Chain A
Amino acid sequence: MNQEQKIAKDIVELLNASVDQLEPAVISRLAEARQLAVQAMRESTRTTNSNGGGLLAYFGGYVRHHQRLLSLAALGSAVFFAFLLTQQFTGHGMAEHGDAFLLASELPPEAYLDKGFYSWLEQQ
């Protein structure tokens, strides 16, 4: 047993020894105060639980314990998102919108430019 534990044990023994010397009125007041304190604690816990604070407290604890991992995940997501954005803006992410797909379409480029074809479609 280390020094601190020995001191704590001595204090407990001294307190226990003096309990027998307390007057009944003092003992009664102490018991009543303890009862009130326990009651107040129960009510406080009930209010917290009805607001979902228990769940929030659980997640708060989870986040505190895994803060480093969550920070890494958030940064990694931001990096990945930035990469995706640059791909979009440089056109690498655009599918089937380039000139190649226009040339490969089932209508030739001249069909898109033929005003006579549009006139004829209107008449059909």
Chain B
Amino acid sequence: MVRAAIVASLLLLALNAQAETAPKEPDWAQLTDSQRKVLAPLAGEWDILRPWQREKMLDIARDYPKMTPDQQSRVQRRLNHWSRMTPYERENARKKYQEFNALSAEKKAEIRKKWQQYQSLPESKREALRRENPDIDGLDDLDN
């Protein structure tokens, strides 16, 4: 009985590992139809992406079906710009996104509204604001 349980647990772990060891950096031609559909904005540059970049994009394709149509539309629109960011920029964006996500619903709505107002400012004003305080940490100070 003990032996059977050990065999079962080893089998489960092996299956899990197998799922992880499937080719992580496939070429465009090796992607599934659903992956190609999600990653269509990257079709022209997929084969020159580094393996770790492809892996990150495949993670996006994996989560894509869990989203609403509006969310999926946003992903498609932003995918190109995202793939061209530097790793440093992407990592910073991830940190700030986590901070934003931790805010209350009301605070999030307020910040979304502020973003739209900020977008309507002249580019010169926005550039001046960027030069003013280059080392602002993030959104965590604003949830007070």
Chain A residues near B (Cβ < 8 Å)? 68, 71-72, 75-76, 78-79, 82-83, 86-87, 90-91, 96-122, 124
Q: Which of A82, A98, A99 contacts B82 (CB 8 A)?
A: A99
Whether B75 lies near A86 (C-beta < 8 A) is no
Chain A residues, CB < 8 A from B136:
115, 118-119, 122
Most chain B CB within 10 A, of A96, A99, A100, is at: A100
CA–CA, A75 to B132, complex, Å?
61
Indicate whether A112 sits within 8 Å of B130 (C-beta atoms), given known contacts A99-B60, A119-B136: no
A119 touches B132 (CB 8 A): yes
Given contacts A119-B132, A120-B114, A121-B142, is CB(A107)–CB(B72) below 8 Å?
no
Please list the 4 inter-chain residue pairs (A to B) with the smallest Cβ-Cβ separation, ordered nearest first: A116-B129, A104-B71, A112-B96, A100-B63
| B59 proximity list for chain A (CB < 8 A) | 91, 98-100
Please report the C-alpha to C-alpha distance between residue A97 and residue B59 in the assembled complex, in whole angstroms. 11
Partner of B97, one of A90, A105, A122: A105
Interface residue tally on B, bucketed by range: 35 or more
A109, B74: Cβ atoms under 8 Å?
no
Contact present for A113 and B129 (CB under 8 Å): no
Of the A-B pairs whose beta carbons lie under 8 Å apart in the complex, a sample of 16, sorted by A's number, is A72-B5, A76-B5, A78-B5, A79-B12, A96-B101, A99-B56, A100-B61, A101-B67, A106-B108, A107-B112, A110-B81, A112-B93, A112-B96, A114-B126, A119-B129, A124-B114
- Pair A100/B64 contact, Cβ less than 8 Å: yes
- The answer to the question of B22 belonging to the interface, with a C-beta cut-off of 8 Å to chain A, is no
Within 8 A of A (CB), among B70-128: 71-72, 74-75, 78-79, 81-82, 85, 89-90, 92-94, 96-98, 100-101, 108, 111-112, 114-115, 118, 121, 126-128
Closest to A89 in B: B16
Main secondary structure of the interface of B (DSSP, over half): helix
Q: Are A107 and B111 in contact (CB under 8 A)?
A: yes
Among the listed A75, A82, A122, which residue makes an inter-chain contact with B133, where contact means beta carbons less than 8 Å apart?
A122
> Is B48 interfacial (CB 8 A cutoff)?
no
> Could you say which residues of chain A place their CB within 8 Å of the CB of B64?
100
B138 in contact (CB, < 8 A): yes
Known: A101-B67, A107-B100, A117-B114. 5 other contacts (CB 8 A): A79-B8, A83-B9, A100-B66, A109-B82, A120-B126
